[in-house]
């Protein structure tokens, strides 16, 4: 597919995009748009510091490997609420996330963010697509990621392809932390992601959840912050699948194992309830 790229002069404004998302509740088609969005974005040091604080990252002079998601969020929102995007944004389910750090992200002050959607596939509960995001500077590509999203109720022809991540290394406890009742609101303030299912029990119940649940990308960020001593600064791929939601408040345990430059991870809570599985690998 050839992408029809549109370059924006500035980051989109989130309030208007949230209003657009709130008023779109119907599936309008089964074809993804071939358009993509690009924009140069400045790294705000205060927002970066607040993000590190919420996610547990130390300031090592590098952008955290999950921070490009924050830089791209407004652009992603504009893409997913555009008239030619066929699925309602509210109700999309984040199934998995794969990111690749191509070069060390130090002294990064201004980046070009690109977002597009592709790879529409049938799923047992609807259809999935990949939200693809890339980050670059004047020297070229720095970082790239695919977030696999599920839209329930979409009917596509074909057999669903299931993606399974199995741990192959022995795992042991690496970290244990609390996910407090307000972490959804705290993460929303630094990320811009004010999805109601994360903010409070009252707002989550409007969408069928008995309590607020933690953001999947906060769980991934908090996990990578705990694994910082195991992860190289670049030439790295990190893949996770999101399992059962983490209801707030909760306590979770991170299990991990490293073998050279590779490792597996698993995030669980009481009763061996599995919330996230994944691995990290060197780039070929």
Residue 173: CB atoms within 10 A of its CB come to 10
Q: What is the rounded CA–CA span in Å between residue 218 and residue 209? A: 18
Hey, which residues does 111 pair with through a beta bridge? 41
pLDDT for 260 equals 76
Q: What is the rounded CA–CA span in Å between residue 164 and residue 129? A: 16
CA dihedral 217, 223, 228, 234 (to 10 degrees): -40
Nearest CA to 11 out of 74, 83, 82, 104 is that of 74
Instruction: List, for the chain, all residue ranges whose pLDDT scores fall below the cut of 50.
Output: none
pLDDT for 165 equals 66
pLDDT for 164 equals 67
Nearest CA to 162 out of 200, 189, 122, 112 is that of 122
pLDDT for 259 equals 74
pLDDT for 157 equals 82
Q: What is the rounded CA–CA span in Å between residue 104 and residue 139? A: 12
For 159-203, how does the pLDDT look when each residue is reduced to its tens digit (9 = 90+)?
Answer: 777 766 666 678 999 999 999 999 999 999 999 999 999 999 999
Residue 185: CB atoms within 10 A of its CB come to 15
Q: What pTM was estimated for this model as a whole?
A: 0.94
DSSP result, 173-232: EEEEEEE-TTHHHHHHHHH----GGGT-HHHHHTTT-SS-B--HHHHHHHHHHHTGGGS-
pLDDT for 16 equals 93
DSSP one-letter code for 29: -
Q: What is the rounded CA–CA span in Å between residue 121 and residue 117? A: 12
pLDDT for 1 equals 65
What the chain holds in terms of domains, given with CATH numbers, is: 1-163 (3.10.129.10), 164-284 (3.10.129.10)
């Amino acid at each position: 597919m050839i992408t029809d790229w549109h370059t924006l002069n500035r980051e989109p404004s989130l309030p208007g995009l949230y209003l657009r998302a709130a008023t779109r509740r119907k599936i309008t088609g089964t074809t993804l748009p071939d358009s993509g969005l690009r924009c140069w974005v400045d790294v705000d040091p205060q927002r970066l510091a607040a993000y590190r604080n919420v996610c547990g990252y130390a300031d090592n002079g590098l952008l955290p490997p999950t921070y490009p998601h924050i830089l791209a969020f407004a652009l992603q929102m504009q893409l997913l609420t555009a008239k030619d995007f066929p699925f309602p944004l509210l109700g999309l389910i984040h199934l998995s996330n794969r990111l690749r750090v191509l070069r060390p992200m130090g002294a990064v002050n201004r980046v070009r963010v690109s977002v597009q959607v592709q790879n529409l596939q049938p799923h047992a509960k609807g259809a999935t697509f990949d939200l693809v995001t890339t980050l670059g500077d004047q020297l070229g590509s720095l970082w790239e990621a695919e977030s696999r999203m599920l839209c329930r109720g979409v009917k596509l022809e074909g057999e669903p392809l299931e993606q399974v991540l199995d741990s192959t290394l022995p795992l042991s406890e690496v970290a244990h932390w609390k996910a407090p009742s307000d972490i959804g609101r705290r993460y929303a303030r630094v990320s811009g992601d004010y999805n109601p299912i994360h903010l409070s029990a009252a707002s989550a119940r409007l969408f069928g959840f008995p309590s607020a649940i933690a953001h999947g990308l906060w769980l991934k960020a908090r996990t990578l912050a705990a694994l910082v001593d195991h992860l190289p600064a670049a030439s790295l791929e990190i893949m996770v699948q999101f399992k059962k939601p983490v209801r707030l408040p909760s306590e979770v345990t991170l299990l991990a194992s490293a073998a050279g430059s590779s490792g597996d991870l698993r995030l669980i809570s009481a009763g061996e309830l599995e919330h996230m599985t994944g691995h990290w690998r060197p780039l070929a």
